């Protein structure tokens, strides 16, 4: 994978499989949450902070505090989708991300995710690790 700056939008290709759809071949609404989660995971990995590094090195994990999603058009069986992650705001222990699911450049769904950094052992809020904060530099 190529290295991206913190301001760049990360995009993950995701195929809609049979297990993601109903009998009519339409992707379930809840499956979009799985797609968004997968893209966030890979985005962190590309930044050098996969789950294992966060836990082992920084004793930190991210938990979702709030999430809102809007659906505009359905994704269908076998569609090749792009799921994006764009960091929007960084607080002491939180990060706000904008995410989209697109097919051929058309937005099918978009969401805003508020994640909180918590101690892996305590599950209490903690500061976003400094090296990750530095990678995300320039965020309000």
Which CATH class for the 10-135 domain? alpha beta
Q: What is the rounded CA–CA span in Å between residue 135 and residue 139?
A: 10
For the chain, which ranges sit under pLDDT 50? 1-5
Structure tokens, 108: 């099918």
Nearest one of 68, 122, 67, 62 to 94, comparing CA atoms? 62
99's enclosing H/E stretch is: strand 94-103
Which pLDDT does position 7 carry in this prediction? 56
Please, what's the largest Cα pairwise distance for the chain? 47
CA-angle at 97, arms to 90 and 122, nearest 5°: 65
Contact criterion met (CB below 8 Å) for 93 and 117: yes
Sheet containing 94-103: which strands, arranged edge to edge?
10-15, 80-90, 94-103, 106-119, 60-71
**Residues pairing with 71 in the sheet:** 109
Cα angle value 115/3/59 (rounded, 5°): 40
The whole-number pLDDT of residue 64 equals: 98
Catalytic residues: 22
Residue 37 region by backbone torsions, left for phi larger than 0, else alpha for psi between -120 and 50, else beta: alpha
């Amino acid at each position: 994978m190529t290295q991206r700056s913190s301001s760049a939008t990360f995009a993950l290709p995701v195929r809609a499989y049979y297990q993601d759809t109903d009998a009519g071949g339409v992707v379930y609404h809840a499956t979009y949450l799985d797609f968004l989660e997968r893209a966030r995971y890979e985005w962190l990995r590309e930044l050098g902070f996969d789950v294992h590094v966060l836990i082992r090195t920084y004793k930190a994990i991210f938990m979702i505090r709030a999430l809102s999603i809007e659906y505009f058009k359905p994704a269908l069986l076998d569609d090749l989708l792009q799921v994006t992650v764009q960091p929007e705001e960084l607080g002491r222990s939180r990060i706000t991300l904008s995410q989209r699911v697109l097919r051929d450049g058309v937005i099918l769904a978009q969401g805003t995710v508020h994640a909180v950094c918590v101690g892996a052992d305590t599950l209490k809020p903690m500061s976003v690790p400094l090296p990750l904060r530095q990678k995300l530099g320039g965020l309000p």
